[in-house]
Structure 1
């Protein structure tokens, strides 16, 4: 299988009056055709900046400071704005967290989907309208012909997100980047959108890069999981690797913070402290000050990436042969904290 998207040693800085924020620090990841790779971590860990760099839609004063973004062997990081416009929407599309901010309130939903269709396809307006109505039906918008002429304020949150998904699929992209696409929705609608994305992927074979802080969502959609912390990759593996055999203390902390599956604990277990200031990244392992299992070396030297298996990697000194043997928290062992989430699959 040929790798669709390969990101090598990517670093992204954001200039501020106080200094450069090192938002993404030497991250390498790949995405295969038809798979879903979830990128998970707390707010501010670099997930969204990492993904926006792929399409060259970084925030003002942000820039790629190093690395390659290889899409079908072509380095997107080296393309001009005009060249990137031929990739955005047509080959790589993005669904944003808030559908309201993604839509123009002065245009009908159907007109906006038509605009997305015609942006990269040489079709007439009548054909584009037919395509737009078909897309609306595919994403589960009832009475699509009638709702074509309605405006965003006529749609519920779930229907707005379905409309945004239709726009993202307008040109049949190879990669769909979903940036927290269900965060603003209630649990029932969230479940419907996740099922829709899975059904679309099964039908079209699109690869999905799914950004989220919600491990329950990850358990439902991901083939592989990348855990990010302080702009770096902490752990990478299959969904089973991460949920049933996690190796990084940060991953343990994220899993421990989920509600218990047994319902016998009244308190949650949040990770103490806050992520570090990335204007002046800490020496050593950035997670060390919040890590109850930190070793002396964690405060002095950043850990290398250790190979656990052919699919599983983690950047923690606990995997060094010289490190003491430390077991994960009881709540994390054997995937106990995630079993309830699996019941919603």
Structure 2
């Protein structure tokens, strides 16, 4: 499958009064045409910063990309000026933000907000842009789009506002959609509708999606591949089946073990002890070592490389070294793996 995006050794830092925060530390991944890559991790792991770097939205001068490449369409996006990025942003790469109420301008009618990028990037006339905006509202499931195009954001429910945000992101038929926790602010029923909508739109438009979330249950339903992030690094990456059937990193075990399922309501969930490290002074070894019950001496001394599990599956843990002791996942994680295998956790249609 053709690669549409390649991220190589991406580093992002932020200058603060406490020192330089190394928010993203050597992230490498690729995105294939028509696939959904989910990036998963707890708050502060670097997920959103990574996607903002892809969009050229790292705030300057505090934010910097001291090292790394983001290759798209034959260009390294890290080398482009703001003016050059503005031609790509919205047209080729679009972003769906987490909170639709803060993403939309409350003083502008939604039709005008959708039309803006059509007029700027597609050079459409106002009449043509309005016609296309109505088509987009229909595509994302807004009823009576001809009437609702002249309404303001406060006249829409949370789920409908998120549909409008998706319509804006889709306006110029982007090659890549970056979805930064697009369902976090929504209730479970609306969340399911939005996820179904995104899968349906992807089939129709053949776009590629980078889906940011902390919810592995969402991942099982929408993604083709999963990258697990911790303390600014990708610690495990593989297909959905790799991550759910055969997870290798203790942090991934912790995420899986902390996820409730319908069949395990009475089970005690696993809590990952401790908290993430201070990234103004990242640890020398594996950043997860202080929270890892299986940590060895080498974990405190050296960062583990990405060990190959299979052609599609890699994990950065010393437990995969040939001299490491054999360690099985906790029983709660094994139950999640069995739940997934038996279909209790919906995989969704990723064909």
TM over 0.5, shorter chain: yes
Question: What's the counterpart of residue 293 of structure 1?
Answer: 294
Question: What's the counterpart of residue 231 of structure 1?
Answer: 232
Moved over 4 A (4+): none
Contact kept, 8 Å, 1:261 with 1:336, in 2: the verdict is: no
Question: What's the counterpart of residue 85 of structure 1?
Answer: 86
Question: What's the counterpart of residue 45 of structure 1?
Answer: 45
Does the residue aligned with 2:83 lie in a helix, a strand or coil?
helix
Question: What's the counterpart of residue 277 of structure 2?
Answer: 276
1:140-289 aligned at under 5 Å gives the runs 140-263=141-264, 265-289=266-290
Question: What's the counterpart of residue 30 of structure 1?
Answer: 30
Does the residue aligned with 1:336 lie in a helix, a strand or coil?
helix
**Following the alignment from structure 1 to structure 2, what is the Cα–Cα distance between the partners of residues 337 and 225?**
18
How many Å apart are 1:343 and its aligned residue?
Answer: 7.5
How many Å apart are 1:268 and its aligned residue?
Answer: 2.1
Question: What's the counterpart of residue 324 of structure 2?
Answer: 323
Does the residue aligned with 2:164 lie in a helix, a strand or coil?
helix
Does the residue aligned with 1:39 lie in a helix, a strand or coil?
strand
Contact kept, 8 Å, 1:117 with 1:167, in 2: the verdict is: no
Contact kept, 8 Å, 1:42 with 1:229, in 2: the verdict is: yes
After TM superposition, the score normalised by the length of structure 1 is 0.97
Contact kept, 8 Å, 1:177 with 1:209, in 2: the verdict is: yes
Deviations 1:195-239 (A, max 9, x none): 000000000000000000000000000000000000011000000
**Following the alignment from structure 2 to structure 1, what is the Cα–Cα distance between the partners of residues 160 and 120?**
23
**Following the alignment from structure 1 to structure 2, what is the Cα–Cα distance between the partners of residues 144 and 212?**
30
How many Å apart are 1:330 and its aligned residue?
Answer: 1.7
How many residues were matched structurally? Answer: 345
2:342 pairs with 1:341: no
Contact kept, 8 Å, 2:176 with 2:208, in 1: the verdict is: yes
2:12 pairs with 1:8: no
How many Å apart are 1:259 and its aligned residue?
Answer: 1.3
Question: What's the counterpart of residue 59 of structure 2?
Answer: 59
Deviations 1:47-89 (A, max 9, x none): 0001100111013511111000000221000000100011000
**Following the alignment from structure 2 to structure 1, what is the Cα–Cα distance between the partners of residues 280 and 322?**
33
Contact kept, 8 Å, 2:270 with 2:332, in 1: the verdict is: no
After TM superposition, the score normalised by the length of structure 2 is 0.96
Which has the higher mean CA deviation after the structures are superposed, 124-133 or 110-119? 110-119
How many Å apart are 1:117 and its aligned residue?
Answer: 1.4
**Following the alignment from structure 1 to structure 2, what is the Cα–Cα distance between the partners of residues 307 and 20?**
32
**Following the alignment from structure 1 to structure 2, what is the Cα–Cα distance between the partners of residues 124 and 70?**
32
Does the residue aligned with 2:235 lie in a helix, a strand or coil?
strand
Which consecutive residues of structure 1, in runs of 5 or more, have no partner in the other structure? none
**Following the alignment from structure 1 to structure 2, what is the Cα–Cα distance between the partners of residues 81 and 4?**
21
Which consecutive residues of structure 2, in runs of 5 or more, have no partner in the other structure? none
Contact kept, 8 Å, 2:220 with 2:347, in 1: the verdict is: no
**Following the alignment from structure 1 to structure 2, what is the Cα–Cα distance between the partners of residues 169 and 314?**
34
Question: What's the counterpart of residue 109 of structure 1?
Answer: 110
**Following the alignment from structure 1 to structure 2, what is the Cα–Cα distance between the partners of residues 2 and 340?**
33
Question: What's the counterpart of residue 304 of structure 1?
Answer: 305
Contact kept, 8 Å, 2:13 with 2:63, in 1: the verdict is: yes
Question: What's the counterpart of residue 136 of structure 1?
Answer: 137
